[in-house]
């Protein structure tokens, strides 16, 4: 089942759940609206990789908001952002463990023949393509820097 189909099914279930699925319903509707807007703007049907990119963007926006809410000591908004992140994470692939990421980075380094810290630009695109939403860019960058030292 595609991610879009899963979102549609979960939206229907949240509508049936009424009060219990209210936040879930609003988050799913927002994501589906963003997907639809991109499809309209690009005049094409999005595949799972493109939908995944939208989901990652949504999670990133909420994580940034969460940091700001915590700085402003707005616990109610912070809790809502956390809940929305948890709802969205259900649709993302399982994150890579540190060991899996280390192996992936080491493979990319050997494939590209990169040596030294200046070769980060060669390695990052290769790892990002393999990780596809399973690891944060900052985390990948740190691992690449560590292994190129």
8 Å CB contact between 105 and 123: yes
Percent of the chain exceeding pLDDT 90 equals 48
Token code pair at residue 58:
């949504």
pLDDT score at 76: 93
- Give residue-wise pLDDT tens across range 18-50: 777 789 999 999 999 999 999 999 999 999 889
Residues 85-111: what's their mean pLDDT? 90
pTM over 0.85: no
Give the Cα separation of 147 and 149 in Å (integer): 6
Q: Of 68, 91, 66, which Cα lies nearest the Cα of 80?
A: 66
Instruction: Tell me the pLDDT tens digit for each residue of 100-129.
Output: 988 998 888 888 887 877 888 888 888 888
Kindly indicate the confidence band of residue 80, based on its pLDDT and cuts at 50, 70 and 90: very high
């Amino acid at each position: 089942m595609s991610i879009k189909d899963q979102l549609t099914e979960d939206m229907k279930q949240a509508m049936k759940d009424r009060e219990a699925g209210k936040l879930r319903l609003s988050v799913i509707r927002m994501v589906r609206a963003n997907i639809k807007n991109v499809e309209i703007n690009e005049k094409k049907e999005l595949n799972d990789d493109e939908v995944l990119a939208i989901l990652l963007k949504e999670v990133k926006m909420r994580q940034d908001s969460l940091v700001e809410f915590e700085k402003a000591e707005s616990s109610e908004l912070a809790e809502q952002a956390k809940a929305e992140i948890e709802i969205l994470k259900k649709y993302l692939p399982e994150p890579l463990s540190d060991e899996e990421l280390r192996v992936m980075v080491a493979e990319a380094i050997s494939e590209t023949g990169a040596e030294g810290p200046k070769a980060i630009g060669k390695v990052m695109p290769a790892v990002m393509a393999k990780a596809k939403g399973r690891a944060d860019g900052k985390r990948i960058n740190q691992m690449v820097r560590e292994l190129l030292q």
